[in-house]
Structure 1
């Protein structure tokens, strides 16, 4: 997750007015798929257990919000067009912000600006 520290700072600054959640979705750059060279070796998830194991790499960064797993049918990823990563802000069950597709159009500061106005 690009800009993880910036996302965690949002949680610190706005947890009194907003609930945060990370949905761990299908792997965008699995070593047995469209891989990038990096220090983390994650294969495509073939089971929910595989996804759970992969999510543990994210957990090592100590996210300040719950991390949940998408279904193996990738329902959240599909519904929210979230691959590889995307930010959403919901209020009253309605989407009030739909961020661009990450990593290049992933901008936590846009969420910050909206939450500042709500605060």
Structure 2
């Protein structure tokens, strides 16, 4: 959520050349785990219902694209090395851009530069 406004601007600027999707995965900084003082109050997900409920917090912030939820076995997060967060660009079902792991490597501006070359 830290760079959500930057992500939303990316979606807005490039919706004519790309479809965007957020995959909500396990909570990296849960209140009952490794939390920061300024975190949103989300406990570690014990069930799919917990994860769906937590994802609703993101949906309410209107990310301007669909939000889907990873299964409790964390299949998408494991397959894409997405923990705690990561940006990807896929084209014709293949990864053409893989951002560095967040939070330090989560860089919407780098994705912007990549997508500008696709225009």
Taking structure 2 as the reference length, what is the TM-score of the superposition? Answer: 0.95
Aligned pairs, number = 119
Gaps of 5+ in 1: none
Counterparts of 1:97 and 1:39, CA distance in 2: 29
Q: Structure 1 stretch 45-54 or stretch 55-64: which is displaced more?
A: 55-64
Asked if structure 1 preserves the Cα contact closer than 8 Å seen for 2:29 and 2:39, the reply is no
Deviation at 1:60, TM superposition (A): 2.1
Counterparts of 2:101 and 2:48, CA distance in 1: 24
Cα distance per residue 1:34-61 (max 9 Å; x no partner): 1111252111101110001111111121
Asked if structure 2 preserves the Cα contact closer than 8 Å seen for 1:2 and 1:103, the reply is no
Note the 1:1-119 alignment, pairs <5 A: 1-119=1-119
User: Residue 96 of structure 2: SS of its match in structure 1?
Assistant: strand
User: Residue 63 of structure 1: SS of its match in structure 2?
Assistant: coil
Gaps of 5+ in 2: none
Asked if structure 2 preserves the Cα contact closer than 8 Å seen for 1:11 and 1:64, the reply is yes
Counterparts of 1:118 and 1:39, CA distance in 2: 36
Superposed CA RMSD: 1.0
Asked if structure 2 preserves the Cα contact closer than 8 Å seen for 1:99 and 1:107, the reply is yes
Taking structure 1 as the reference length, what is the TM-score of the superposition? Answer: 0.95
